[in-house]
Amino acid sequence: MAGKTPSAGSLNQIYINGEYVASHSKRTFSVRNPKDNALVADAVPIADQEDVDRAVAAAEAAFVGPWSKFTALQRTEAFNRLNAILEERLIDILTLDSLTTGNPVSLIPTREKNYIKNCLLYYAGWTDKQKGDYLPADDGFVKLVRHEPLGVCAAVNPYNAPVATFILKAAPCLATGNVLIVKPSEKSPLGSLALAPLFEEAGFPKGVIQVLTGDGSTGALLAQHMRIRKISFTGSIPTGKKIQVAAAQSNLKRVTLELGGKSPALIFEDANLDNAVTWTVNGILARSGQVCVASSRVYVHESIAKEFTEKYIEKMRAAVDNIGDPQDPNVAFGPLADDAAFEKVKAMIARGETEAQLVLGGKRKGDKGCFIEPTVFLNPKPTAQVLKEEVFGPVAVVLTFKTEEEAIELANDTEYGLMAGVFTKDINRALRVSARIESGVVGVNCISVMNMQVPFGGKKASGLGREFGEYALRAFTEPKSVLINMNS
Helix (H) or strand (E) holding 313, with range, is helix 305-318
Query: Which residues are CB-neighbours of 19 under 8 A, at least 6 positions away?
Result: 206
3-state secondary structure 407-475: HHHHHHCCCCCCEEEEECCCHHHHHHHHHHCCCCEEEECCCCCCCCCCCECCCHHHEECCECHHHHHHH
Contact criterion met (CB below 8 Å) for 193 and 43: no
Rounded to whole angstroms, the Cα distance separating 464 from 459 reads 7
Burial 411-428 (b: 16+ CB within 10 A, else e): bbebebbbbbbbbbeeee
Task: State the burial class of residue 111 (Cβ atoms within 10 Å of its Cβ: 0-12, 13-18, 19+).
Answer: middle
Catalytic, 355? Answer no
Half-sphere exposure of 487 (CA within 13 A, CB side): 5
Contact criterion met (CB below 8 Å) for 119 and 52: no
Rounded to whole angstroms, the Cα distance separating 130 from 76 reads 13
Q: Using alpha carbons, select from 188, 156, 151, 206 the residue that is nearest to residue 15.
A: 206
Q: Using alpha carbons, select from 192, 174, 183, 283 the residue that is nearest to residue 234.
A: 183
Query: Which residues are CB-neighbours of 98 under 8 A, at least 6 positions away?
Result: 104, 105, 108, 326, 327, 334
Query: Which residues are CB-neighbours of 255 under 8 A, at least 6 positions away?
Result: 230, 231, 232, 233, 243, 244, 247, 464, 465
β-pair type (477-485, 419-423): unpaired
β-pair type (264-267, 254-258): unpaired
- Kindly give the interhelix angle for 273-285 and 305-318, rounded to the nearest 10 degrees: 40
Burial 383-402 (b: 16+ CB within 10 A, else e): ebbbbbbbbbbbbbbbbbbe
**Of the residues 186, 200, 258, 373, which is catalytic?**
258
Give the residue numbers marked as catalytic: 258
